[in-house]
Amino acid sequence: MVRTRDSILRRMTKGFIWAVLLLNAIPAAASELRGVVVGVADGDTITILDASKQQHRIRINGIDAPEKRQAFGERSKQSLSRMAFQKDARLECHKIDRYKRKVCKVWVQPADCPTCGKTLDVGHAQVIAGLAWWYRAYAKEQSAEDRGRYESDEDEARLRKRGLWQDKEPVPPWEWRRRDHR
């Protein structure tokens, strides 16, 4: 079969389009970041200072905490501050959100274990304490193991009426924001 220049170009273009589509279907690999937590904005947002003295605004993956002016907002922020402020942190970041924050899973050394490494997942700890919701809308961005742990521990916090689950009808932050409370 004789191939014309046009048919070869069409085949190459088609192949290129398929390659681009396949590459876009592969989830982005997580990048690791290390630094010191130098700021806590609220119950799910921190600032990290890396070794090169660059600051990174971080949205903690897998959770949504009450907003500052929302019920339990200040308690959620205080809880995250106690766990992470001025501590060395290890972060696994997988995307940047619309506010230009890196979305990361964040680990620090537990306060009650001076010989442990960075083994405390602060997002998971916020859910266990009842000071953040497991953010189901973004569950697909978590591993199956994390989805199971976060869901189970949110159910447990609700059952035991920890933190925000003390309210009869706690309002999830995504609904609170929609009501234009920002």
Predicted structure pTM score: 0.82
* 101 has catalytic annotation: yes
Res. 2: pLDDT tops 70: no
Which amino acid is residue 138, in one-letter code?
Y
Q: Which of 3, 32, 67, 154 is catalytic?
A: 67
pLDDT (0 to 100) of residue 180: 67
pLDDT (0 to 100) of residue 179: 86
**Domains of the chain, each with CATH number or no CATH:** 31-178 (2.40.50.90)
Q: Which of 3, 57, 59, 182 is catalytic?
A: 59
105 band by pLDDT with thresholds 50, 70 and 90: very high
Res. 17: pLDDT tops 70: no
C-alpha distance from residue 105 to each of 32, 48, 182 (Å): 10, 13, 25
Nearest to residue 93, comparing CAs of 82, 81, 104?
104
Task: Round to whole Å and give the CA distance between 35 and 73.
Answer: 25
Task: Round to whole Å and give the CA distance between 167 and 107.
Answer: 29
Task: Round to whole Å and give the CA distance between 19 and 93.
Answer: 25
Q: Percentage of the chain with pLDDT > 90?
A: 80
Which amino acid is residue 8, in one-letter code?
I
Q: Are 163 and 133 in contact (CB under 8 A)?
A: no
Compute φ and ψ for 95, nearest 5 degrees.
-165, 175
Locate 132 and state its tokens: 């953040």
pLDDT in tens, 86-102: 999 999 999 999 999 99
Res. 10: pLDDT tops 90: no
**How close are the terminal C-alpha atoms of the chain, in Å?**
66
- Top pLDDT among 9 and 68 is at 68
Task: Round to whole Å and give the CA distance between 45 and 41.
Answer: 5
